[in-house]
Amino acid sequence: MSGVAVRMTCGACGAAVGSGDTVCPACGTALEFPARGGAAPSPGPSRARRERVRRDRSGGRRPVEPWMVVAGLALLALVVTIVVFQTPSPATRAVSGAAPLSPLAGAGGQDHIALLEQAVRDRPGDLDTLRALANALHDHRDWQRAIAVYQQYLQKNPGDPDARVDMGICYFELSQLKGEKADEYFAKAVSEMELALKKSPGHVPAAFNLGVVYLQRRLLEESNEWFRRAVAIDRNHPLAQRAQRMLDQHSFGK
């Protein structure tokens, strides 16, 4: 019978194996041959080993093991926590009520800013151009320069609540950088937004943004107060509706 070829297979997955193989090339199971030169592998791995190497024949997927379930539940809990505690950023200029400009990015944004700076130099009394420059710097996230131009604009037009809230947002963004002046910038953000609301008591964006900045600081009582104030001013305003959703979304708002 020495001339008869014997077909050797893996006891775990049934794939053909060679006499020189120590592991199955198909599933990776260790092959155990008889102690004396026989041609056939052992009948197969123990039950514990079969459980480790069992695969879904159609897709090659690993079996679901307990540790996978635990890890999946932990990940789901983390995602839920992030969603629940996610807070909005302060409203942008477009939301706060000022006329939006085209988005600025890269060299194109700097070119636009340069043109506006030249226009301000050519027409120093043109408040619309000065405001447009402040807004462009705001959009370009150049907070310090934007604040300087907003201040220049507000010296000539102190009754514009949108510009004052926008400047407050710039101060708040600077406070988010966590530098040594973070608290000072946050206080200025609150002060400018409160001043905007004092000068214009019906200005919903000021109340809404105060709710947002306090929420970002996890000062929940103050945040709720300003969100409720925004709703009380005009519950039909889009930002007042957002404020109400924030109050409804979180348990601390009930």
Per-position pLDDT tens, the chain of length 254: 444 444 566 665 666 666 666 666 666 666 554 333 333 333 333 333 333 334 444 444 555 555 555 555 555 444 433 333 445 667 655 444 433 333 333 334 788 999 999 999 999 899 999 999 999 999 999 999 999 999 999 999 999 999 999 999 999 999 999 889 999 999 999 999 999 999 999 999 999 999 999 999 999 999 999 999 999 999 999 999 999 999 998 645 44
| CATH number of the domain within which 206 lies | 1.25.40.10
Q: Look at residues 108, 180, 117, 122 and name the one whose alpha carbon lies nearest to residue 148.
A: 117
CA–CA gap between residue 24 and residue 140 (Å, rounded): 60
Same domain, 42 and 138: no
Start-to-end CA span in the chain (Å): 86
Looking at residue 178, its pLDDT comes to 80
Q: Is residue 79 part of a domain?
A: no
Q: What is the DSSP letter of 16?
A: B
Domain shared by 217 and 104, yes or no: yes
Would 71 be classed as within a structural domain?
no
Is residue 126 domain-shared with residue 45, that is, in the same domain?
no
- In sequence order, the 6+-apart residues with CB closer than 8 A to the CB of 180 are none
Residues 149 and 29 in one domain: no
Boundary-marking domain end, from 25, 42, 63: 63
Cβ(164)–Cβ(196) under 8 Å?
Answer: yes
pTM of the predicted model as reported, rounded to 2 decimal places: 0.61
* Residue labelled with tokens 């408040």: 127
**Which domain does 161 fall in, by range?**
93-253
| Residue 188 shares a structural domain with residue 100 | yes
Q: Is residue 222 assigned to a domain?
A: yes
